Amino acid sequence: MSAGQILRKDVRAQAWAAWAPVLAGLGLLYVPTYVGVYHEFWSLHEQSAAPVMLLLVGWLVWRQRSAFAAVGATDARLIGSILFAVGVVLYVLGRSQSFYQLEVASQIPLLLGVVGILLGSQGLRRLWFPTFLLLCLVPVPGSALDQLLLPLKELVSDVVDNALHLAGYPSARSGAVLSIGPYNLLIADACSGLNSMLALSGVGLFYIYLSGHARRWIKATLLLSILPVAFLANVVRVAGLTLITFYAGESAGVRFHDRAAYLEILLAFGGFFAIERVLVWAGGSRADQKPATAELRPG
């Protein structure tokens, strides 16, 4: 074994020794949090895309695993300590009051604080985005958003109803209730699109982060397309649920509904990929169409 390999092995061992108690402490804090969030929200399919976002965040952190070897940097300990203290306060308040929104959100400053204390500013630059995506896991308090949910539900049902009419299906709409054949489907809060739009916004940010485009206008256009893509993915979900219920019955519709969040994620990825390809093609076409400047030569 070469001296360089021995040195790298020692560095990794030191990093694991420093991070092992941190990981154990984070597990003690947040494993009970996620168990509670699962039973209160994710198991009811209101935010069933959230576990996928958690896996994506974990994968992004794993991609940056080389950053964890830089234990000992001191150039961000002050801001790291402040963020850590804020995170602890939010966690204590959320945990003591059974306020899951605050408890889950406390991860962001707390984790960034730990990174700043142990890894310094370089670690913060490399890990801020995966940590920021944890914001997509904060449960949405439905009762506080009733004024927003009702018009959103009606808009989703109206778009689906019009699309089915154009396709020749016997559909009708009354408020947030969509009727097709002998079936009446209530567009519930979970199908309003708000939860899925929040989750798919995280998927969109994840896609833009991975795409790594140098062209700012492509990044800006992709950012602006996040909410429309998320809304259209939810419309496709509701339309699919309606058609499956119409053709295969209510039980088949329920089974589709329980798994439709994963379809939305695939649709969103497909939508972002298609938009990106069109933008890249359009950018290349514009570059090809630029008039060539005449070369002036003396004499």
Supply angle C-alpha 134, 213, 198, rounded to 5: 30
In the predicted model, is pLDDT for residue 166 greater than 80? Answer: yes
Q: How many CB atoms lie within 10 A of CB 119?
A: 26
Q: State yes or no: is 191 an active-site residue.
A: yes
Query: Which listed residue (237, 277, 286, 297) is catalytic?
Result: 237
Block residue for tokens 């630029």: 290
Higher pLDDT among residues 93 and 15, named by residue: 93
Q: State yes or no: is 237 an active-site residue.
A: yes
Cβ atoms 82, 36 nearer than 8 A? no
Q: Give counts: helices (H), strands (E), the chain.
A: 9, 3
What confidence tens digit (pLDDT) does each residue in 261-287 have? Answer: 778 888 888 889 999 989 888 876 554
Instruction: State the pLDDT at residue 267.
Output: 86
Alpha carbon of residue 50 to chain centroid:
7
Query: Which listed residue (173, 191, 259, 286) is catalytic?
Result: 191
Instruction: State the pLDDT at residue 124.
Output: 92
Q: What is the pTM of this model?
A: 0.75
Residues 6+ apart with CB under 8 A from 266: none
Higher pLDDT among residues 227 and 163, named by residue: 163
Mean pLDDT value across the chain: 80
Instruction: State the pLDDT at residue 4.
Output: 52
